[in-house]
Amino acid sequence: MTDTLYIQPLTFVSGPQAVAGDAVRLAGGMVYAREFAVIVRRDDAVVSREIATAASIEDSFTRLPDELGPEAQRQWSALRMEHKPLELGDRTIRLDQPQVMGILNVTPDSFSDGGKFMDDPEEMQAHAARMHEAGAAIIDIGGESTRPGAKAVWEGEEIERVRPAIERCVAMGAAVSVDTRRPAVMEAALQAGAHIINDVSALRYDPRSLEFAASSEVPVILMHAPGSGENLHADGEYGAIAFDVFDFLKEARDRALAGGIAQERIVLDPGIGFGKSLADNLNILNHLPMYHALGCPLLIGASRKRLMGALSNEAAAHQRAGGSLSLAQLGMNAGVQLLRVHEVFETVQARNVWRGLRDAALTDFTGLAQ
């Protein structure tokens, strides 16, 4: 039997001054955590769980099995890590506040906007420009639908879909990520000017992907999905979903590191909606702060996902803006660095208001002796 460790941030405060300094800045962002659960799991059972604050957590580590001590220190350091900005061509994307990634699907069968921008290049460019002008730090362009039941796309066709969209977005000065799992598409996209590889298979779909991603020296987004072949939604069986996703992302991170991808170029995505039930998705979302212990920036892509329909009388995808903003807010409160969304203008506005509140909280000394 093997023991595994998790450090889960539990409670949050407006700033360290609110608790006499007994809080930490989570992942270099604008969120401050005070209490943490130090959890030991054996197989699928939690065998110990101790609550500590920043002031007492080192003492908690002394009561862990000896073999877990180094991992505890790594995770504790990662929770407090300040992430370097993403350098994307001429653009620098700071990760000390949430950044918005706008979705641009050039597919005929996307669950939300299939065909809308694929068949009308001018409308596609206008939509991309609206997202860029509204404050999207990155535009994420995908040429293959990964919804459940979607058919696989030949890589040549996928390239023909994404290349003109990437070229148009780059020409308007946008930072661009390409949403693909095929190395030939990755290469064509980077040649067209894309700056980030966003692989929903975490570089597992094609054995050539890891080597190419490492040699490209661009940031890479690694997402959790239970399936490893054509159907990424397959094999979604879990013992404890939040911990299982953590373990998967840890393994994906370590595989990328061993393959030559620098840690500062790795972004992790828990894969909301991929091979997960409603309960699974909600569990992961409620555990988002724990994933900072992996030491990489986080991305969530929950916009318009099926879970919102399940919680709101089966509202259609285009009627899920309220739920999408609610989950974007959850991500901000969890310290997530990248929010992949359809409603860019509304999410950027929500982020700006959220940031104003966070800035004000840091200078609020109400109740303290002057």
On the question of pLDDT at 114 being above 60, the answer is: no
Q: What is the pLDDT of residue 75?
A: 98
**In this predicted model, what pLDDT tens digit does every residue of 268-311 receive, in sequence order?**
999 999 999 999 999 999 999 999 999 999 999 999 999 999 99
Q: What is the pLDDT of residue 121?
A: 84
| 268 or 17: which leads in pLDDT | 268
| 363 or 248: which leads in pLDDT | 248
Number of residues that make up the chain: 370
Q: What is the pLDDT of residue 217?
A: 97
| 149 or 125: which leads in pLDDT | 125
Which one from 168, 340, 351, 358 is the annotated catalytic residue? 340
Structural domains for the chain = 3-79 (no CATH), 86-357 (3.20.20.20)
Q: What is the pLDDT of residue 1?
A: 73
Question: Cα(27)–Cα(25) distance, rounded to whole angstroms?
Answer: 6
- Confirm whether 305 is a catalytic residue: yes
Please report, as a single letter, which amino acid is at residue 90: D
Q: What is the pLDDT of residue 164?
A: 95
Question: Cα(287)–Cα(306) distance, rounded to whole angstroms?
Answer: 19
Q: What is the pLDDT of residue 117?
A: 60
Q: How confident is the model at residue 109 (pLDDT cuts 50, 70, 90)?
A: low
Which one from 181, 253, 305, 351 is the annotated catalytic residue? 305
Transcribe 238-304 into DSSP letters.
-SSHHHHHHHHHHHHHHHHHHTT--GGGEEEE--TTSS--HHHHHHHHHTGGGGGGGSS-BEE--TT
Specify the range with the lowest mean pLDDT, choosing from 72-81, 141-150, 166-175.
141-150
Q: What is the pLDDT of residue 172?
A: 95
The mean predicted confidence, pLDDT, of the chain is: 93
Task: Confirm if 196 and 178 have CB atoms less than 8 A apart.
Answer: yes
Average pLDDT over residues 170-183: 97
Q: What is the pLDDT of residue 228?
A: 79
**In this predicted model, what pLDDT tens digit does every residue of 310-361 receive, in sequence order?**
999 999 999 999 999 999 999 999 999 999 999 999 999 999 999 999 999 9
**In this predicted model, what pLDDT tens digit does every residue of 145-156 receive, in sequence order?**
887 777 778 899
Sequence-ordered list of residues with C-beta below 8 angstroms from that of 189, at least 6 positions apart, any chain: 141, 159, 162, 163, 166, 176, 178, 180, 197
Query: What is the token pair recorded at 299?
Result: 């991305």
On the question of pLDDT at 120 being above 80, the answer is: no
On the question of pLDDT at 43 being above 90, the answer is: no
Query: What is the token pair recorded at 50?
Result: 């101790």
- Portion of the chain with pLDDT greater than 90, in percent: 85
Query: What is the token pair recorded at 107?
Result: 């597919």
Question: Cα(282)–Cα(209) distance, rounded to whole angstroms?
Answer: 31
Query: What is the token pair recorded at 202?
Result: 């975490």
- Confirm whether 116 is a catalytic residue: no
On the question of pLDDT at 19 being above 70, the answer is: yes
Q: What is the pLDDT of residue 60?
A: 97
Q: What is the pLDDT of residue 192?
A: 98
Q: What is the pLDDT of residue 229?
A: 79
On the question of pLDDT at 370 being above 50, the answer is: no
On the question of pLDDT at 20 being above 80, the answer is: yes
